[in-house]
Amino acid sequence: SQSQQMRLVTFSLDEQIRRVIVAIQPQWSARNIRFKLNLKTVRLLADQDQLNQVWTNILGNSIKFSKDGGVINVSIKQDIKSVTVRISDTGIGISLEDQKRIFERFFKADRSHSRKYGGSGMGLAIVKQIVSLHEGDIRVESEPGQGTTVIVTLPITTPPD
């Protein structure tokens, strides 16, 4: 069953995201990429390691596909029953056609550039699977040449304190 694959613990989502940003500092600081954070305090009952992987990949993508000196906005918004994390970059963007396919295994947009950026195209497929296990939702909004926003919504299964 799904629950057998998950180790649910209560933890602070905003703290987790801050920690991930610190952990991947080698990917962004030398390129002068900056983060603007608007993180509400949210406690969540979820698989901590799996969600760590989610933010690591989404934020890693935002960095990888940003220009040097770019800004990445990360926000957390809490609802009654859910929490929404938005990760927004001002990078190369994704065409409408490719937006439909980025959650497929091994899919990488724009083959001519894939050598430059590296990666296996597995990240978002794994992310989507983890979000689904948590009964959440993930979607993307993007404009080629303008940037990309990835929006993750997760149900809050623990009462706020």
- Residue ranges in contact with ligand ATP by CB under 6 A: 57, 61-62, 65, 89, 91-94, 102, 107-109, 119-125, 148
Q: Residue 65 binds which entry of Mg ion, ligand ATP, none, with Cβ cut-offs from 5 to 8 Å by kind?
A: ligand ATP
Cβ–Cβ < 8 Å for 44, 11:
yes
Nearer to ligand ATP, 1 or 112 (CB): 112
Q: How far is the CB of 43 from ligand ATP (least distance, A)?
A: 27
Please give the residues from 53 up to 72 whose contact with Mg ion meets the rule CB under 5 A.
57, 61
Structure tokens given for 1: 């069953």
Q: What is the crossing angle of helices 123-133 and 48-64, to 10°? A: 140
Nearest 5°: the CA angle 9, 102, 47 is 5
Tell me how far apart the alpha carbons of residues 77 and 79 are, in angstroms, rounded to a whole number: 7
Nearer to ligand ATP, 102 or 154 (CB): 102
Tell me how far apart the alpha carbons of residues 161 and 150 are, in angstroms, rounded to a whole number: 28
Contact mark string toward Mg ion, 68..107, x via CB under 5 A? ----------------------------------------
Q: How far is the CB of 153 from Mg ion (least distance, A)?
A: 20
# of chain residues touching Mg ion (CB under 5 A): 3
Tell me how far apart the alpha carbons of residues 60 and 64 are, in angstroms, rounded to a whole number: 6
Tell me how far apart the alpha carbons of residues 68 and 31 are, in angstroms, rounded to a whole number: 5
Residues that bind Mg ion (CB under 5 A): 57, 61, 123
